[in-house]
Each structure stands twice: as structure tokens, then as C-alpha cells.
Amino acid sequence: MEAAGGGELESTGKDEAEAEYHSHDFEWEDLKAEVEANPGFSYHLSPFPGPAGTMNLPPPPPSSEAWRSFHRRHSSGKFFKERRYLLKEFPELLKSNDCAKALEVGCGNGSTAVSVLRSSESTTVFACDCSKDTLQKASEIISNTKGIDVKDRFHPFLLDFSKETFPDWLFCNVCQSSLGKTAEDLLDLSHHKREERPVFLRGNQCCVGGMDFITMIFTLSAIPFDKMPTAIKHCVSVLKPGGLLLFRDYGLYDMTMLRFLPHQRVGFREYVRSDGTFSYFFSLDTVRELFHAAGLIERELEYCCVTSVNRKNGKTMQRVWVHGKFEKPIS
Ligand SMILES: C[S@@+](CC[C@H](N)C(=O)[O-])C[C@H]1O[C@@H](n2cnc3c(N)ncnc32)[C@H](O)[C@@H]1O
């Protein structure tokens, strides 16, 4: 079974960066027709809950706890793999204004954060995860990565984004509501007397002023489907107007979805691995609905369909990922 640590990478016959970059080796519609015609896959398609009996199963334990134990078991950082292809997928990261701020949600060992830090020497990355262990590992890996100076540019913090709101120091309510106000209005800085200021806030700064980018890379699929709408709203609340949410995650009928067994289904297109971590497989419509409901405008949304070959056993694998780019409206 696929490992939970991103699981995106397999041994391929291609140059890895090329294989991961969005490609169209096959048509998603052809794969859909093949899967839907195959009786062996019918349990993936049926509504959930399925036949009587599955309704009596106890609910799976919280997925964030499963992720915490996953990271405790894999403390060597072996799932770290710099996602350099993200800078090709999302060239805006390279063209960003001076001093851009990015929030990497569910940063794991820092595979995405490293690439974002590499995009520009003036970009700052705030990165959250529900696991303290993985945040420590990410800091260690990032500070040991050659070629990037991370001094004052990488700020990891602990947060379960399926449950909690983001801390005020990312984009405080007063600053949110003061968008469009005059300089005189902003002289009322009483909110600057906030307690628990993180050390990187300077002078009478009350918050870092919102994010230019949010990266959600193989993270949304890791939380239960029913928590996604609220979790996305929390993320959007710290994005600046005009800011971009960059999304990549598992797509419907990805090979790893078709490998799950009937008892691992915990919802429609939602599965639990044997280690208790969740995995959801997105259709474009689901992604569109989730992000539109949070008030974002769709800029790009497509399936990336990549055929790769496992070097060890020669088997061909059809991988499906969703690539999306969404913008927060200015007004
Ligand atoms: C598949 S990994 C992806 C890591 C990273 N984004 C990357 O590009 O490699 C999913 C990450 O989401 C984190 N995660 C899962 N549920 C979470 C939650 N509720 N709140 C915060 N992080 C969560 C996991 O701990 C894990 O590090």
C-alpha cells in the first residue's frame, strides 16, 4: 500500500522532476471510462455509506493523531523530497513581489517549503503542521539545505488546521477589517498591545499582514472530507486580497485510490490507510465547489495525468493529480 508521506513519488522511468510536473500522458476521461466499466472497481463508485453493516462500524480515530504517530515513526526524514517542480507549476512564486509571504499548510518535512524558500531570497515562509516532530525535522532539514539562506525566513508553527483558526499574528482581524481604511483610521493601534507576540514581529507590528501565497500540497486530502470547507475558510482568512492559493493533491481514479480495499473506505472517495491516516481523491468539480464556497476565484484547474514505470517490477502506473490555482478577490 502507498505510504502516507506524500506518496506522490514512485520510481519512474522518466526524469523525476519531469514526471511530477503537470503532464498529460493520457486522457483522464479514458481512465474514467476504463475504471467505471471494470466490475472489480465498482465498490469505489458506490454511494457511501454502502450496504447495511458498514454503518455500524466505529468512526476512525482522528486523522491528525494518526499523522502525529506517522511522523514519530518516520523521524529520519526519509519522506523529504524537494518539490522543485512546484516552481514550474506555479511560476508566480518566482515572479512574486519583494518580500512575499507564503503559508505552507501541512508542511511535513518541508518538501514544499524548501522550494518556496528557494523561489526568492526575499520570500518568507510560515509553515504549519499538526505534528511537532515533523516541524522540528523540517527546521533541521531546511537549515541544513545548501544554497538557501533561511535566516528569519522560515517560521514553523504547530496547528491542526482541520480544527483551529490561524493565529492572529498571521493576519489579525483589525488589519483585515481596516483594508481600505485611511491612514488616520490606522493610527488607532490599540490592538498592537497583543500578548504572545512571536519574536519575529518588529516594533509595533501587530501581524505580518496576510499571505501573498498559500500552498496546499498533498495536505487537504489528509483531513476528513467533512472538515474541508471550514479548514479552507480558515486558510482563506489569512490570504491577502489578490493573493493566490496554490493547490496540488490526489486526483480521482489515481492508481493509489484503486488499490484501497473495500474495508478501507470511510466515505465517498475517502479512504483510511492501515496506519490511520486519511486520503481523499478529488474530482475537479469537488475542488471547484470547495474553493468557490470559500470565496475564491478559479484561475487554473486541471488533472495532471502521468504514466510512470516502476523500475523494480516494470509495472506501469497511471497517476492522477489535481493542479489548481485560486485567487482571493480584491474587493
Ligand atoms: C502528505 S503530507 C504533505 C506534506 C507537504 N505539504 C509536502 O508538500 O510534502 C501531509 C501533511 O499534512 C499534515 N497534516 C495532516 N492533517 C493535518 C492537520 N489537521 N493540521 C495540520 N497538518 C496536518 C501531516 O502531518 C503531513 O505532514
Query: pLDDT tens digits for 213-233?
Result: 999 999 999 999 999 999 999
Tell me the residue type at 54: T
* 16-43+63-72+80-186+196-327 to CATH, choices 3.40.50.9100, 1.10.600.10, 3.40.640.10, 3.40.50.150: 3.40.50.150
Is 217 touching ligand 1 by the criterion CB < 6 Å? Answer: yes
Our CA dihedral for 225, 76, 72, 101, rounded to 10 degrees, sits at -50
User: What ligand 1 atom has the least distance to the C-alpha of 71?
Assistant: 25
Is 215 touching ligand 1 by the criterion CB < 6 Å? Answer: no
**How far, CA to CA in Å, does 188 sit from each of 31, 178, 181?**
58, 10, 11
Mean pLDDT of 115-140: 95
CA angle 60, 63, 69 (to 5 degrees): 110
User: Ligand 1 atom 1: the closest Cα is on which residue?
Assistant: 6
Phi, psi (degrees; rounded to nearest 5) at 266: -120, 0
- Residue extents of the structural domains in the chain: 16-43+63-72+80-186+196-327
First vs last C-alpha separation in the chain: 46
Is 129 touching ligand 1 by the criterion CB < 6 Å? Answer: yes
Q: What is the DSSP letter of 24?
A: B
Q: 81 or 34: which carries more pLDDT confidence? A: 34
- Residue burial 208-232, b: 16+ Cβ < 10 Å; e: rest: bebbbbbbbbbbbbbbbbebbeebb
**Residue 40 Cα to ligand 1 middle (Å):** 31
User: If pLDDT is split at 50, 70 and 90, which confidence band does 50 have?
Assistant: low
Q: What is the CA radius of gyration of the chain?
A: 20
Is 130 touching ligand 1 by the criterion CB < 6 Å? Answer: yes
pLDDT given for residue 196 in this prediction: 67
**Residue 129 Cα to ligand 1 middle (Å):** 6
- Residue from 219, 245, 246, 275 to probe ligand 1 pocket by mutation (most atoms less than 8 Å from CB): 219
Is residue 25 pLDDT above 70, yes or no? yes
Is residue 254 pLDDT above 80, yes or no? yes
pLDDT given for residue 62 in this prediction: 76
User: If pLDDT is split at 50, 70 and 90, which confidence band does 191 have?
Assistant: very low
Instruction: Quote the percentage of the chain above a pLDDT of 90.
Output: 68
Mean pLDDT of 114-124: 94
Mean pLDDT of 166-175: 91
Which tens digits make up the pLDDT trace of 67-103?
999 999 988 877 788 998 999 999 999 987 779 999 9
Cell readout for 278 is: 486519511
Class of residue 329 by CB neighbours under 10 A (exposed 0-12, middle 13-18, buried 19+): exposed
**Residue 263 Cα to ligand 1 middle (Å):** 24
**Residue 74 Cα to ligand 1 middle (Å):** 14
pLDDT given for residue 192 in this prediction: 44
User: If pLDDT is split at 50, 70 and 90, which confidence band does 11 have?
Assistant: very low
Mean pLDDT of 193-211: 81
Phi, psi (degrees; rounded to nearest 5) at 300: -150, 140
User: Ligand 1 atom 14: the closest Cα is on which residue?
Assistant: 106
Q: 313 or 113: which carries more pLDDT confidence? A: 113
Cell readout for 6 is: 506524500
- Residue from 71, 112, 128, 130 to probe ligand 1 pocket by mutation (most atoms less than 8 Å from CB): 130
Is 64 touching ligand 1 by the criterion CB < 6 Å? Answer: yes
Is residue 58 pLDDT above 80, yes or no? no
Q: How many CB atoms lie within 10 A of CB 129?
A: 28
User: If pLDDT is split at 50, 70 and 90, which confidence band does 131 have?
Assistant: very high
Is residue 308 pLDDT above 90, yes or no? no
Sheet holding 278-280, edge to edge: 265-267, 270-272, 278-280
**Residue 325 Cα to ligand 1 middle (Å):** 19
Residue whose C-alpha cell reads 488616520 in the numeric block: 184
User: If pLDDT is split at 50, 70 and 90, which confidence band does 144 have?
Assistant: very high
Helix %, strand %, coil % for the chain, to 5? Answer: 35, 20, 45
